[in-house]
Amino acid sequence: MKIGAENKKEVTIMAILLAVLLLVGVYNFRDVLWGSSTEATPSTPTAPAPQPRGSATVATAQDTDSNLRTDILIWSRGIQYEPGNRNPFAYAPTPLPTPIATPRPTPVGLPTPTPIPTPPPIPLIFYGFTTRQGEPKRVFLAEKGGEGRNFVAGLNEIVDRRYKIVQIQTNQILVQDMLNNNTQPIPFTPRDQR
């Protein structure tokens, strides 16, 4: 078994990574391995230089830092914390202002539902029917008022491009108004009562 004969690419990448790791380690620990050329010498603390005693020449930290709020510092020094249930580190949200009660409008009344319009009556008169052997039953219809046109129709046929004959009985017929989608019975009316 030969190591690396099959995975030459992986072995090459691994060798490069190990070389980079070795260089980084040497660079980081060079002071420990070879010693530092600039040894830190222990120094004794020195006293600050004496300041002259004039109010015009003395620069204080308060004058140089414009963000320092001395009024808040003085206020916080005067606060006395007393032991108890209060946790000074807990966040306490500010109370919300009480809302102003506005009177609700009184309802005038419930809206009345609009009435469903009744479909117009079908303006046809049924005055008879005929039956012949081997043929379906046919009805005779006339138009109410107006021109007085006459129609002859069978079951499921449409009259005047609007009315469909749904059912034929001996004393009435059921007619469906195709535009208004309603069905109305039309009773038998003899021809002379028309």
Q: What is the pLDDT of residues 108-151, one digit of tens each?
A: 777 788 888 888 898 888 888 888 888 888 998 888 876 678 88
| Below-50 pLDDT ranges, the chain | 1, 40, 55-59, 61-62
pLDDT of residue 19: 96
pLDDT confidence of residue 72: 83
How much is the pLDDT for 56?
47
**CATH no. of 124-193:** 2.30.30
Q: What is the DSSP letter of 191?
A: G
Pick from 148, 168, 146, 149: nearest CA to 157:
168
Tokens of 160: 């005047």
The residues near 191 (Cβ < 8 Å, ≥ 6 apart) are: 127, 128
Q: Can you tell me the distance from the alpha carbon of 154 to that of 173, in angstroms, rounded to the nearest whole number? A: 11
Question: In this structure, are residues 126 and 188 in contact, taking their beta carbons and an 8 Å threshold?
Answer: yes
For residue 117, the model assigns a pLDDT of 85
Tell me what pLDDT residue 192 has: 58
